[in-house]
């Protein structure tokens, strides 16, 4: 009996022909037919790897995913040093946003490729792309080069993300798959929240901020032999020619997504572009009902899980970026020290994620986790919104702990719930669908919050000091204008710092909104028990 039993009323119901086609694709791998049959029944794993080799494969896949997650937030604490070295203050938001947009703009393309081509080759290619982008970022002679490298990292990272999900799903049976996909979610969460701390450590050391990117080359190089020699071959269409595979690709939606993300680089109405891209995605799925994701998109429950995942990432991402910035301005902390100040947010978040993963499967119900977690996150985010330059460290730690505990109770739960609610044939697609919500939430959080902070703080300081050039004000906001603060009177310095802290507070409005949305959505979730522990 499987550890996780499915509730028949909550399963998605694709057509019989679709089930047959997807099943054939998932089972057409370089393993014995008998092993495949055992796997579909929850028996032996669909792999011919010894335990030690399997350990290295899983560890290396998660290591690559960790680097992708780490790069999401590693620039949070090093942006001012990058601007100090390379200049280009007006392009500050793109240091973080370019990475997320590179990932979002190519997630459907990678999904199409993994559905029609050999997974090992694609995964290795995505790692190479990610490492090339990391090398460009580390050696960047200009800010434009670094932004381009960040976009390349995002493209390769999305291939790593979907490749890890596909490889883990293909190489595990029904019984062990949820546990390994849980490792994927936990690895992502740990990498995301450790980014500012690791980035700050490199920045304050003799290694400089450039090693925040070079570290990817070192870890990738160590894992390369595993990728090349131990990763099994997984080909969903063995025997088909290259041209026939290309003809089966659905590049229409990929081009639509790319064309509607590309103008973000030069259009200020970023949110409108995201809405347009989302509308095109849903319209295309309506025109192509034969695509497996249609069953997911048409499911109200899956849509709620998607929105919950995106909202949770907003709640996680914005504090990770702006709490260190607060300490750098309000408390004059270094990059490393301000990153360490994140520990009261990081540690409870990891603890709550682990508690959710361990207990939810035993309790069986998932809806209460979203209700309690979003309520706690809402209370914590409202308190974060109230901080000012005189707020004590103890209060900020308390607000951070409350927010982190709340969002941690449900931030990764969507993956586990989607695995159970989706039909077995759509398991990997369901996990990838929730993963897109995860990346989309991070992207929206970075685009909007960076714009709010930079634009509002610049305008407020310009009103306080109207005779200063805008470029000087922006440098002060980015943290590289040390001489700027030294030349101010005590009254002017206080007013400028208050303006910056007020702008940081306004970014927490997004956290409040996302937490409130999660709380409202949780009311519409089913009061059902999905996870059932088998009798001993």
365, β-bridge pairs: 529
- Encoded tokens for 528: 């059902």
Residue 333's closest CA among 200, 207, 206, 458? Answer: 200
CA 101: distance to chain centroid? 12
Q: What is the pLDDT of residue 479?
A: 60
Axis crossing angle, helix 211-229 with helix 177-203, rounded to the nearest 10? 150
d(CA 347, CA 344): 6
Measure the CA dihedral 298/301/303/305, to 10°. -150
Distance between alpha carbon 158 and the CA centroid of its chain, in Å? 10
Phi, then psi, of 358 in degrees rounded to 5 = -85, -35
CATH 1.25.40.10 for the 292-524+529-533 domain, yes or no = no
Residues of the chain with pLDDT under 70: 1-47, 174-175, 178, 234-242, 244-295, 425, 427-428, 475, 478-484, 531-536
**Class of domain 47-249 (CATH, top level):** mainly alpha
Distances (CA, A) of 509 to 31, 325, 329, 353, 448: 52, 16, 20, 24, 11
pLDDT of residue 522: 94
> Would you kindly state where each structural domain of the chain is located, as residue ranges?
47-249, 254-261+271-289, 292-524+529-533
Could you give the maximum distance between any two Cα atoms of the chain, in Å? 79
280: how many CB neighbours lie within 10 A of its CB?
Answer: 16
User: According to the model, what pLDDT value does residue 244 have?
Assistant: 66
User: What is the model's pLDDT at position 483?
Assistant: 63
Contact (CB, 8 A) for 485 and 334: no
Q: Do domains 47-249 and 292-524+529-533 have the same CATH topology?
A: yes
pTM assigned to the model: 0.73
Q: How many CB atoms lie within 10 A of CB 14?
A: 20
Q: What is the three-class DSSP state of 73?
A: helix
């Amino acid at each position: 009996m499987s550890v996780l039993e499915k509730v028949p009323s909550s399963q998605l119901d694709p057509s019989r022909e679709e089930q047959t086609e997807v099943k054939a694709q998932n089972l057409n791998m370089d393993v014995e037919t008998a092993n495949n049959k055992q796997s579909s029944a929850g028996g032996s794993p669909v792999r011919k790897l010894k335990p030690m080799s399997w350990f290295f494969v899983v560890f290396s896949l998660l290591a690559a995913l960790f680097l992708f997650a780490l790069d999401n937030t590693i620039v949070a604490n090093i942006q001012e040093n990058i601007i100090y070295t390379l200049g280009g203050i007006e392009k500050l938001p793109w240091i973080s946003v370019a990475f997320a947009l590179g990932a979002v703009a190519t997630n459907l393309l990678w999904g199409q490729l993994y559905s029609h081509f050999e997974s090992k080759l694609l995964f290795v290619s995505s790692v190479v792309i990610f490492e090339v982008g990391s090398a460009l970022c580390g050696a960047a002679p200009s800010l434009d080069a670094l932004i381009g490298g960040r976009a390349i990292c995002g493209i390769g990272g999305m291939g790593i993300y979907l490749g890890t999900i596909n490889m883990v799903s293909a190489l595990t049976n029904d019984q062990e798959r949820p546990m390994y996909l849980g490792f994927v979610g936990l690895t992502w969460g740990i990498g995301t929240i450790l980014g500012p701390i690791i980035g700050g450590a490199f920045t304050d050391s003799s290694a400089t901020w450039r090693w925040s990117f070079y570290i990817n080359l070192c870890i990738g190089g160590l894992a390369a032999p595993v990728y090349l020699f131990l990763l099994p071959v997984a080909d969903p269409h063995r025997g088909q020619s290259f041209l026939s595979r290309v003809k089966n690709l659905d590049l229409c939606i990929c081009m639509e997504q790319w064309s509607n993300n590309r103008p973000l680089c030069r259009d200020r109405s970023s949110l409108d572009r995201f809405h347009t891209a989302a509308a095109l995605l849903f319209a295309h799925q309506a025109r192509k009902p034969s695509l497996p994701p249609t069953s997911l998109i048409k499911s109200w429950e899956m849509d709620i899980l998607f929105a919950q995942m995106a909202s949770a990432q907003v709640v996680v991402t914005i504090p990770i970026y702006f709490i260190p910035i607060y300490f750098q301005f309000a408390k004059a902390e270094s990059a490393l020290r301000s990153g360490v100040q994140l520990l009261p947010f990081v540690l409870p978040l990891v603890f709550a994620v682990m508690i959710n993963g361990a207990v939810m499967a035993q309790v069986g119900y998932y809806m209460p986790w979203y209700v309690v977690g979003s309520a706690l996150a809402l209370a914590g985010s409202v308190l974060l919104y109230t901080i000012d330059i005189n707020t004590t460290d103890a209060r900020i730690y308390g607000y951070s702990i409350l927010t982190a505990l709340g969002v941690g109770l449900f931030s990764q739960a969507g993956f586990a719930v989607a695995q159970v609610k989706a039909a077995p044939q759509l398991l990997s697609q369901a996990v990838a669908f929730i993963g897109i919500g995860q990346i989309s939430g991070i992207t929206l959080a970075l685009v909007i919050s960076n714009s709010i902070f930079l634009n509002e703080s610049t305008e407020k300081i310009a009103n306080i000091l109207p005779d200063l050039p805008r470029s000087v004000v922006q440098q002060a906001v980015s943290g590289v204008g040390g001489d700027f603060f030294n030349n101010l009177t005590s009254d002017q310095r206080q007013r400028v710092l208050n303006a910056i802290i007020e702008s940081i507070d306004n970014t927490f409005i997004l956290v409040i909104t996302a937490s409130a949305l999660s709380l409202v959505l949780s009311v519409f979730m089913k009061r059902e028990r999905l996870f059932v522990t088998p009798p001993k």
